[in-house]
Chains A and B, each alone.
Chain A
Amino acid sequence: MNVTCNDRDRIFEDGTLAEWAVLEAHAATCPLCAEELGAWTSLSFAAQELRDYTESPALWPRIERALAEEAERKTLRAESRGWFSFFRNIPLGWQTAAAGAFVLVLTIFAGWFYLHPPRNGQPGDQSLLSSKVLKEVESAETTYVQAIDKLAAEAKPQLDNPATALLANYHEKLLVLDSAIADLRAQAGMNPSNAQLRHQLLAMYQEKQHTLEEVLETKQ
């Protein structure tokens, strides 16, 4: 193997043992390469001056304490997560189903509380009706509606063939009232405990009752 001055940098960067040996032999006859080789190896020697492996007696106890504290914290975190650990072993599908069931139960409870709110010591607050009162209201309403229907049946011949403009107006008014009553009944059906709706419905029925009475009075 033969090396020249041009090979020096390549050997410095990535030379094999054999190449280094040849470069050394070359340096014996080449002052420039000898100086470069000397400087190069001197750097490696000088680097040893930066090697200070003296013991630090306080360092390991400090690290050990920190490691022990970290391990303790890790154990505490694991314990706090332990309660939920059984959940991680359940397949994902079951986890989803369980979460869905939980949401469903929550919804049912929320709905139940919405429909059956706890009494909070305010007897004057009748905006929502309890189930017992609601049944009584619905029962009375049914009887009342039946009575009004009887009145309507009696007034029907006059209204179907109104003899006067007044009767025609009554007919129009009753159609509007029936439409409003149908809307309110639909709303009350969705929200039966709403006392406000019941009041409005009652007012409509009363208006219909008075109108029918007036129609029947015109006959007499």
Chain B
Amino acid sequence: MGTMGLALPWKARISSMPRERGTRVEPSEHFAGGPSPAVVNALSEDAALAAACRSGDLRAYERLYAMHGARMKNLARNVLGNPIDAEDAVQETFLKVQRSIASFRGQSSFLTWTYRILINTCYDARRSRLRKKEVANDDSEETPRHEPRTPGAHPALRMALERALAKLTQHQRDVFLLYEVEGFRHAEIARMLEMTEAASKNTLFQAKKNLRQMLEPPRSSAAEAR
């Protein structure tokens, strides 16, 4: 199985990673038992951070940025397609958190709530961009235009994936990005996107199935690659 992998249309071939790294199975969703001490600790940290932000302490926002700023920006960038819009969305998210922290009742975790705001802000930015396009009489379909970023180990693979992601439905793209790229659990994604956990799992499954089809090489090139 080690040589099996995702074959790309231009004959590049990525060896699959060991399954433990490639596919996450969420123990908390399958095994009974109370929350682990690490989870309890994370929850109390989350509540403390929310309380500090509610008190208007700017250092709390700085801590939130230090812990999640890069991840937030990465998510926004993958949704919006360019770093400038992504940075604007992150800044707008922090302002929205500051404005509405008084209404945060702790029904979900503070971080989940913050990411939900980020995702909604990205949706708003995308809609606004679409409206601007319509005003400019540009009929081209709204898909994120990905600008160059720091080169990774497999730039060709990244570009192919970005192109394929742009063809997914919004929900499929968001669930894939949140789960596979940002590493959130289905329970967290469900709260962020206001869906059930089962829907999140199913959407991820559909997204990966579609991506698999889009990234699958034509029969002939697949044979050549072998």
Contact = CB atoms under 8 A, between A and B. Distances in A.
B61 to A, nearest CB: 6
B58 A59 contact: no
Contact of A67 (B27, B61, B78, B182): B61
B105 interface: no
B87 interface: yes
Which size bracket describes the interface of B in this complex?
35 or more
B73 A56 contact: yes
Given A43-B208, A53-B70, A38 B5 contact: yes
B4 A44 contact: no
Contacts of B177: 50
B91 A62 contact: yes
A38 B1 contact: yes
Interface stretch (B13-21, B40-48, B106-114): B13-21
A53 B71 contact: yes
A3 B166 CA distance: 34
Interface stretch (A27-35, A89-97, A116-124): A27-35
B30 A17 contact: yes
Interface string B58-84: 100110010001110110011000010
Interface in A31-49: 34-35, 37-49
B14 A66 contact: no
Interface residues of A, number: 43
B74 A45 contact: no
A49 B154 contact: yes
B161 A50 contact: yes
A48 B14 contact: no
A46 B157 contact: yes
Contacts of A55: 70
Contacts of B74: 50-53
A2 interface: no
B152 A56 contact: no
Contacts of A145: none
Contacts of B215: 43, 46
Given A28-B1, A71-B98, A39 B150 contact: no
Nearest to B56: A71
Contact of B17 (A41, A49, A67): A41
Given A9-B205, A44-B23, A39 B1 contact: no
B78 to A, nearest CB: 6
**Which of A24, A37, A48, A66 has the most chain B CB within a 10 Å cutoff?**
A48
B62 A12 contact: no
Interface string A4-18: 000001001111110
Interface string B140-158: 0000000001101111011
B178 to A, nearest CB: 11
A113 interface: no
Given A52-B77, A59-B69, A63-B65, A44 B90 contact: no
Contact of B154 (A27, A46, A67): A46
Given A38-B4, A56-B69, A71-B98, 6 more contacts: A35-B4, A39-B216, A45-B17, A47-B181, A50-B181, A63-B91
Interface of A: 9, 12-17, 20, 24, 27-28, 34-35, 37-56, 59-60, 62-64, 66-68, 70-71
In the complex, the 9 A-B pairs of residues with the closest C-beta atoms, listed nearest first: A38-B4, A41-B22, A42-B6, A47-B180, A49-B158, A13-B205, A53-B70, A44-B22, A42-B5
10 contacts: A17-B30, A42-B17, A43-B212, A46-B14, A47-B180, A48-B181, A49-B154, A60-B62, A64-B58, A67-B95
